[in-house]
Amino acid sequence: YWISLSLMGAVIVRLASEDYLGRRIEPAVAVRDALMRLPIVMVALLLKYILMVVGFFLFLVGFLYVMARYFAVTAGVVIEGRGAVSTFGRSAALSRGHKMHILGTWLLAFVIFAVVYFGIAIVAAMTGSIVISTILTTVASIAAYPMFAIIEMLLYYDARVRNEGYDIEM
């Protein structure tokens, strides 16, 4: 599960980044690049989730702070080629002064996901079939997962534009 989530996240971030920058989208290249960076992505995500759990035990505010501060861990590894530890410093620098914006964006994404997911779950429950219910909720989850990786990539570039003038640099 950890391997597949790390790989999917890295591939989606790479593909979305290429599209955002107006480059040709090549899934095979994105998968190859993600596989080369996979161990680093896995370690970085493990560290991020450990910090989020610690933040959760320090009340919800600590969880939200860690989530906002280290929002661009995967993007830092995949797009910038950083190491598992240095990407945390980069994400922290990018989030400086923008944590509420980051949290608001994540909240909006979660609300959209929840509305769609629970809407589909209600429709699936009305069919009365466990098989149909399972299939529909699984399809909803599969369709929604890329949304979170794409949002991470968009927040990463948004922070670069706001902090570094990346749009002007390009």
SS3 of the chain: the string is CHHHHHHHHHHHHHHHHHHHCCCCCCHHHHHHHHHHHHHHHHHHHHHHHHHHHHHHHCHHHHHHHHHHHCCCHHHHHHCCCCCCCHHHHHHHHHHCCCHHHHHHHHHHHHHHHHHHHHHHHHHHHHHCCHHHHHHHHHHHHHHHHHHHHHHHHHHHHHHHHHHHCHHHHC
Q: How far apart are the C-alpha atoms of 166 and 170, rounded to whole Å?
A: 6
Residue 167 has pLDDT above 80, yes or no: no
Condensed to tens digits (0 to 9), the pLDDT of residues 106-142 reads 999 999 988 888 888 888 888 888 888 888 888 888 8
Least Cα distance to 6 among 53, 48, 45 occurs for 45
Condensed to tens digits (0 to 9), the pLDDT of residues 134-166 reads 888 888 888 888 888 899 999 999 999 999 888
